[in-house]
């Protein structure tokens, strides 16, 4: 993963338009969903790996949690600093080797991030290292058997289009095996599809089989 890939293609400054506090309704719903899954306690320390422009960290600021973020993109991390109250706790660095001490965080989140690392076992090893014993880890992963990918393959003979330099897609069981092989214990598993209107989201979750969901969220501990 080249250092400037996300600056050039994924986090272009022109996409931000200085609108630090304006989010799409779907992004607001997604952050609420993530908050409910992790439920961080006030006074605890949380690291968001691949924090991007800081939308999730911003959503947590009223919770009284000590918030930290890391992202490889300079443009994204600089924008994240505009969103949060402690910009010095946003770090621009390659998270293949996290620049933190062992057992430093009570919580760690990685929302749709680990699939973009060259070695998933390596990033999972780092995730485990920096989280305290009994800490909570949230990892969202994409599903290669997402129903839309299957439908696209049936119709056009082509599967999912990868838009980033590295993007590993696996099945539910493959993600589960990777996470458990890293020595993490899975507490709960939740699926999510898209965050549209409430009735549409409910219908998707009702009609789409679990293993054909868009993403899986693994809540883990060590």
Decide if pLDDT at 17 tops 60: no
Query: Where are the domains positioned within the chain?
Result: 5-221
| Helix, strand and coil in the chain, % to nearest 5 | 40, 25, 35
Decide if pLDDT at 202 tops 80: no
When pLDDT is cut at 50, 70 and 90, the band that residue 28 belongs to is: confident
The structure's pTM equals: 0.90
What integer pLDDT is reported at residue 48 of this predicted model? 98
Decide if pLDDT at 2 tops 80: no
Please provide the average confidence, as pLDDT, over all residues in the chain: 88
The DSSP annotation for 91-119 comes to EES-TTS-SS-TT-EEEEEEES-GGGSS-
Give the integer Cα–Cα distance in Å for 69 and 89. 6
- Of 152 and 184, the structure prediction assigns the larger pLDDT to 184
When pLDDT is cut at 50, 70 and 90, the band that residue 1 belongs to is: low
Nearest CA to 49 among 38, 63, 36? Answer: 38
Decide: 162 and 194 in contact? Cβ < 8 Å: no
Decide if pLDDT at 119 tops 70: yes
Q: How far is CA 48 from CA 45, 81, 91, 110, 174, in A?
A: 10, 13, 10, 6, 23
Mean pLDDT in residue range 84-99: 95
Decide if pLDDT at 191 tops 70: yes
Over residues 139-166, the pLDDT tens digits come to: 999 999 999 999 989 998 888 877 788 8
- Work out the angle between the directed axes of helices 120-130 and 172-181 (0-180°, nearest 10): 50
What integer pLDDT is reported at residue 14 of this predicted model? 44
When pLDDT is cut at 50, 70 and 90, the band that residue 115 belongs to is: very high
Decide if pLDDT at 25 tops 90: no
Q: Does domain 5-221 have CATH number 2.130.10.10?
A: no
Torsional sign, CA 136, 32, 215, 96: negative
User: Length of the chain in residues, anyone?
Assistant: 222
Q: Which residues have CB under 8 Å from 4's CB, separation 6+?
A: none
Nearest CA to 3 among 94, 77, 99? Answer: 94
Mean pLDDT in residue range 206-219: 92
What integer pLDDT is reported at residue 132 of this predicted model? 98
Q: Which range among 63-67, 135-139, 207-211 shows the weakest confidence by mean pLDDT?
A: 207-211
What integer pLDDT is reported at residue 34 of this predicted model? 94
Decide if pLDDT at 30 tops 80: yes
| Max Cα distance, the chain (Å) | 51
């Amino acid at each position: 993963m080249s250092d400037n890939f996300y600056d050039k293609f994924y986090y272009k400054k022109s996409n931000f338009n200085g609108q630090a506090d304006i989010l799409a309704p779907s992004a607001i719903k997604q952050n609420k969903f993530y908050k409910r899954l992790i439920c961080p306690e006030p006074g605890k320390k949380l690291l968001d790996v691949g924090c991007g422009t800081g939308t999730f960290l911003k959503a947590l600021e009223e919770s009284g949690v000590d918030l930290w973020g890391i992202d490889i993109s300079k443009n994204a991390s600089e924008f994240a600093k505009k969103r949060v109250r402690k910009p010095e706790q946003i770090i621009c660095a390659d998270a293949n080797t996290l620049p933190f001490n062992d057992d430093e965080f009570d919580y760690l989140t990685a929302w749709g991030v680990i699939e973009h690392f060259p070695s998933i076992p390596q990033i999972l090893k780092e995730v485990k290292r920096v989280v305290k014993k009994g800490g909570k880890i949230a990892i969202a992963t994409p599903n290669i058997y997402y129903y839309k990918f299957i439908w696209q393959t049936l119709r056009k003979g082509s599967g999912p289009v990868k838009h980033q330099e590295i993007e590993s897609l696996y099945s539910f069981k493959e993600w589960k095996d990777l996470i458990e092989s890293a020595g993490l214990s899975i507490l709960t598993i939740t699926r999510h599809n898209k965050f549209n209107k409430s009735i549409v989201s409910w219908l998707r979750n009702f009609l789409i089989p679990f293993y054909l969901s868009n993403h899986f969220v693994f809540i883990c501990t060590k």
